[in-house]
Amino acid sequence: MPSEIVSCIWCNKNIKKHSMTRVKSWRNISSKKYQWIHQLLEQRGTELEVEMIICNKCRTMLYKEKKRRTAASGYVSLLNETEENMINMNINEETNDKLNNLLNLEGFYGDGNDKNYCSLCLKTDTDTVLLSAAERILLFCNHKIYCSSNARRCATRCLEVPMGRFNEPTCLTANQAVLLINDLTHELNRFKLMPLLDENNSLISEEDYQAWTGWSLNQLKEMTSRVTPRMHQSKHRSPFEAICIYWIKLKTNLSFRQIGTLFKIQTIEESIRKRVEDNFHAVARYLYDAFVPFHLGFTHLSRTNAIQHHTAYTETFFGNNLCLIWDGTYIYTNKSEDHKLQQETYSGQKSRHLIKFMSIVLPDGYVLDLIGPFKGKDNDAKISKVRSFVILTYITL
């Protein structure tokens, strides 16, 4: 005799009647203790039958709907306490079955559903940007907070220490675990090759840039944008790293080999020092071409603009005529082992070895040009002949 087939009163899913005793997720809801389900069936327009069967999935869904309506309307629940406990047990069993298939990271928090709020302050009504891989790994390692690849933070920094979220235990699917391992591996490899200073490294503070180079991050980026069109591309360093190498050498006077270690120059051991030295001289040339012609020399300022640098004193005596102030300045040097160079750098006036520069300054102190270097034994009269024609032309035009 064929088995009798029965259907779920709500979703019409079929099951063999003799199997219901073995499958705990099906219930016979014909008795009065399931009157709350009978009311929902009648509201749906379903006719009640003498014998009604419902699957656990539909029963759980109806139970949640009942609770929602109870909270909204405030009417007294008709659900039998015993049945409620049974449904809660079934829900917990289903939840536990799902959790058994996940990787539970004990002590870590964050459920990965974090694309709609800031992962640091947990606010939802602010402008946000995506967290970088480095920031996500930092939260994971330092604060034990798991963030997915869609995690975001406030566009403007909100908190240094993220808020706790102890009600969000971390349970990862197999795919999420693979992505997390890949992120950790990639970040470890990146850290191994990461130079001392990097423009996109959020772990480096503004004080670090100031301490090592003497410039802020924005100033270093501005210099980089100026010299990049003149700079050849290299696999050993980026334009930003080249600028940092140059200023670190000037500020700290570390050896080229030491700076090469700090920036992890990827080349053979014998070539590291030469790579950094070549980079230093190249950047010096690029910075000169990018900045000096626009801020120093007779061509960077017109005669009309130069006259505007008059003081009250010079304007009284010289009127609309251009006035320039020439003066020499000294840079003292050590005594050279080269006899000829020692003779040329020795100044009889100062009785010391030095080199000279000639400063050409406007009356209010604006430096128009700087000429040099000249030998220490040369006097100002001899030095002034070098650009006398250019200067006289500039004055009289």
Residue type, 361: V
Predicted structure pTM score: 0.52
Residue 138, pLDDT score: 84
pLDDT given at position 91:
52
Query: How high is the pLDDT of residue 92?
Result: 55
Q: What's residue 89's pLDDT?
A: 56
pLDDT score for 280: 93
Nearest to residue 158, comparing CAs of 135, 191, 142, 133?
135
| pLDDT on residue 251 | 92
pLDDT at 23: 55
Q: What is the pLDDT of residue 246?
A: 93
Q: Give residue 169's pLDDT.
A: 84
pLDDT given at position 1: 47
- Per-residue model confidence (pLDDT) at position 322: 84
For position 134, what pLDDT does the model report?
Answer: 80
The three-state (H, E, C) secondary structure of the chain, written as one string: CCCCEEEECCCCCEEEHHHCCCCCCEEECCCHHHHHHHHHHHHHCCCCCCCCEEEHHHHHHHHHHHHHHHHHHCCCCCCCHHHHHHHHHHHHHHHHHHHHCCEEEEEEECCCCCCCCECCCCCCCCCEEECCHHHHHHHHHHHCECCCCCCEEECCCCCCCCCCCCCCEEEECHHHHHHHHHHHHHHHHHHHHCCCCCCCCCCCCHHHHHHHHCCCHHHHHHHHHHHHHHCCCCCCCCHHHHHHHHHHHHHHCCCHHHHHHHCCCCCCHHHHHHHHHHHHHHHHHHHHHHHHHHHCCCCCCCHHHHHCCCCHHHHHHHCCCCCCEEEEEEEECCCCCCHHHHHHHEECCCCEEEEEEEEEECCCCCEEEEEEEEECCCCHHHHHCCCHHHHHHHHHC
pLDDT in tens, the chain (397 residues): 456 777 777 777 766 665 655 556 677 777 766 777 777 777 777 777 777 777 777 777 777 777 766 665 554 444 445 455 555 555 555 545 444 567 888 888 888 888 888 888 888 778 888 888 888 888 888 888 888 888 888 888 788 788 877 778 888 888 888 888 888 888 777 777 777 787 777 678 888 899 999 999 999 999 999 988 888 777 777 889 899 999 999 999 999 999 988 888 878 888 889 989 999 999 999 999 888 888 888 888 888 888 889 898 888 888 888 888 888 888 999 988 899 989 999 988 889 999 988 888 999 999 988 888 888 888 877 777 766 656 666 666 5
Q: Can you give the pLDDT at residue 71?
A: 63
